[in-house]
């Protein structure tokens, strides 16, 4: 395996760009291939079998067509449902993400906490284990059905409307907000508009550090002194949609404030 081989990222859409942004800051000289499965977005309410089948196809493409040296599942739902299967099937390093609930336990366990995530993530065994281990007994779990879809395809007005309806009862009460879906950091501003001043927690930095550790351990870190490149692939059959996704994706990863 060559050290200059790219790292494959996958998500149901462009949400995983919020993870890649952090990884680029940590490992700028790596090459990346990002797969956005927008033809099948959202993953949040799909069955385990459907998600495993999609992820298997994507990982196999990232390995066979792009020669990726490692995979980052930049999607909480796919991580919860498919990471065990993928790790059993493929021998390359596979890094998964989970809602940053342990971070709350480490930093502000006394604060009232919202965990926002998809249905798929919240119902998963992987999340149950995490939740019962670090439960602060001041937590509301919010299955944000349809939110990733609105962030992916909707308007600003639809987004504000959705968040108003879903979060209004926690206004002035929530202190910690776990963004348990990689799309949600794209709505931080709108979430704050409803909840006021809250602290956000997400797993993007942790995943990036874990990726660096694993590549280092396996002697797979790039030895290039130059900035690497990023390739974007989207599964939509509609060329116009693919172009729009691509533009939005590159805009997000060029913004450092996420």
Contact between 183 and ligand DGL by CB under 6 A: the answer reads: yes
- Judged by CB under 6 A, the stretch of 23-31, 74-82, 100-108, 125-133 that binds ligand DGL is 74-82
Binding piece for ligand DGL, criterion CB under 6 A, among 9-17, 85-93, 230-238, 246-254: 9-17
Q: Quick check: 42 binds ligand DGL (CB under 6 A)?
A: yes
CA distance 46 to 3: 35
Of 43, 201, 232, 249, the one binding ligand DGL by CB under 6 A: 43
DSSP 184: G
| Distance, CA of 44 to CA of 46 (rounded, Å) | 6
Known active-site residue 68: no
Q: How far apart are CA 55 and CA 32, in angstroms?
A: 17
Distance, in Å, from the CA atom of 17 to the CA atom of 10, rounded to the nearest integer, reads 9
**Count of residues engaged in binding ligand DGL, rule: CB under 6 A:** 16
Q: Beta-carbon neighbour count of residue 132 at 10 Å?
A: 8
By beta-carbon proximity to ligand DGL, the closer residue of 6 and 42 is: 42
Catalytic residue among 55, 68, 75, 144: 75
d(CA 242, CA 235): 8
Q: How far is the CB of 205 from ligand DGL (least distance, A)?
A: 15
Judge whether 181 counts as a catalytic residue.
Answer: yes
Q: Residue 159 and residue 153: Cα distance in Å, rounded?
A: 10
Return residues touching ligand DGL (CB under 6 A): 11-12, 15, 41-44, 75-77, 118, 121, 148, 181-183
């Amino acid at each position: 395996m060559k050290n200059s081989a790219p790292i494959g990222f996958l998500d149901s859409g462009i949400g995983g760009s919020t993870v890649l942004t952090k990884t680029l800051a940590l490992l700028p000289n790596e090459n990346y291939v990002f797969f956005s499965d927008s033809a099948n977005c959202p993953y949040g309410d799909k069955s385990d079998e459907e998600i495993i089948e999609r992820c298997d196809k994507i990982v196999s493409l990232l390995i066979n067509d792009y020669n990726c040296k490692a995979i980052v599942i930049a999607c909480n739902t796919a991580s919860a449902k498919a990471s065990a299967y993928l790790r059993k099937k493929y021998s390359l390093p596979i890094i998964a993400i989970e809602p940053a609930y342990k971070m709350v336990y480490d930093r502000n366990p006394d604060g009232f906490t919202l965990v926002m995530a998809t249905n798929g993530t919240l119902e998963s065994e992987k999340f149950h284990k995490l939740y019962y281990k670090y439960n602060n007994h001041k937590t509301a779990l919010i299955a944000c059905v349809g939110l990733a879809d609105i962030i992916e395809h909707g308007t600003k007005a639809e987004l504000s409307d959705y968040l108003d309806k879903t979060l209004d009862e926690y206004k002035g009460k929530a202190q910690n907000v776990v963004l348990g879906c990689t799309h949600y950091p794209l709505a931080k501003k709108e979430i704050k508009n409803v909840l006021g001043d809250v602290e956000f927690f997400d797993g993007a930095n942790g995943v990036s550090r874990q990726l660096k550790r694993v590549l280092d351990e396996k002697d797979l870190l790039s030895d290039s002194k130059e900035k690497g490149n990023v390739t974007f692939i989207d599964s939509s059959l509609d060329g116009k949609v693919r172009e729009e996704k691509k533009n939005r994706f590159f805009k997000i990863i060029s913004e450092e404030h996420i």
